[in-house]
A and B are shown apart, each in its own frame.
Chain A
């Protein structure tokens, strides 16, 4: 987990994602994907492979499996400030197995995910059901996820704290016209247990520290968190065979955070074998009630955190994905296959998280410049349908 709390207490995205591919009354296509991913930003590099296979067993059942690795190295601003620029490296391995069962216009999905790293273990079980109705113009989806995590700390074998997670999902997808489809999704998530990052520190004014004017202490988080997210998305078919998509999500939680996400996308086929996708995304959030960049004194609040993820900030990103069909029309049992390259650039701008790498006289503590950084996210993957 390291000081960056890189891995948010996790539930597998994949088990949930796979359930939604296609309509409820049709199982997802059989396919295999091999992906290499790389994230580079804020002094941290995260890279690794992901393998995904979907294979039908009989006419109504399909199995899926995913193997995913994050190899993390570098030194984020938290590590640089608290530990003195020490580099670190660690690895997270995640495995997911799932089954989809189709009956009439409904599909039921079960999946189980195990994620391991040296100081964080997560087990997640998901159940989803989706139903096509109204002459297949409407798809209703419901889902429930339960997760059990164990939080540890390198160098402290006595720490093995639990964290329980539950997700509740409800979604509806509606065909509005012959060119327009809209979906509405809600997800409620509750966490209970160890929500602290055992490595991260909060800082407070310290008159005894005549050099910097501040000192660090352990963070203290509430033991529960409940959040709600409501999202609406639309996709429109354009007359020249391209599509335009737009989405908005509102988020609120019991820690006092409100967030808004807006995203637009454009997909355009090129020549006979190419597909170009572009996206723009804007995100903004308020800070948690107990977030503080600089406490007046040690323990001045009931709860206190200086995780920049809980601060007030915005991020903007652009994305480009280019796909090329290397096989069309069948070849040795493969229906078709594609090669894809994707790049995203993300800019993060913090409004109340300061860059402590800039050292000011003790009298000016709290006036350090605000932190900002950018990240490059690259994916290269091959997909084959069979």
Chain B
């Protein structure tokens, strides 16, 4: 999972667009609370506490949302094809959002779903509350007013098809938006529109990258002949043993070895061993043989099959990000 790219997206555009509307709401709720405190004579002019409360609940609620979206994506996994179509569409949506961020054509603005009026009004009213917990509640309610980039991230969380990956995606993205709430936003307003434009470009490219990776992954995992060339398969290792009992070690960043050779017509007992894997690499697939196995972070699983055809068969993770080859001779 490209969590760094997601963080960068949050840091640039997510932060900016979130701040544009949520910064104003936060300021409004802090002002409402201060007014109440001045009236009661207990005001200590502390803005850090409400800001932290706001950001903390926001982060928590979005992480839970990511968890639910990932689980929802996983529930579609009854059929592997449904999940791949979902991933393909999510990737496509991200590409369209990126084209909007990059300001390619006004038509792409229509891709951004604007939250319905009753929800925005609900959030707005909350920002006028004088309650002690108002900032925290407001943070939680920002979940109802996502911007385009947030929607793209939510699509990515669904396509991850795993509750924990989904939670990690949303957590990382929202974490990336946090710094701008602490004064960096003030800096960008001074540096002006030029700077904002550049921020949007960086974010646009990051979302574009995520979208293309997602679409390409869906094509790869679906066994499509058209996909971007992979750089992950290194075939330089000449000392490949021919064995019917191969073992593939799974790590967060791929499969080791990623090239195994087996004989045709004899049972293959393939051992999968995962160590500390917190990425989609733990969802092992051999599309052409219709084999799917999901592993725990630390797990050992056995897959048995009899290859009936010679040739090279690809194995990959469920999102098509990590891959390798089984050669049948």
**A and B are partners in one complex rather than unrelated chains:** no
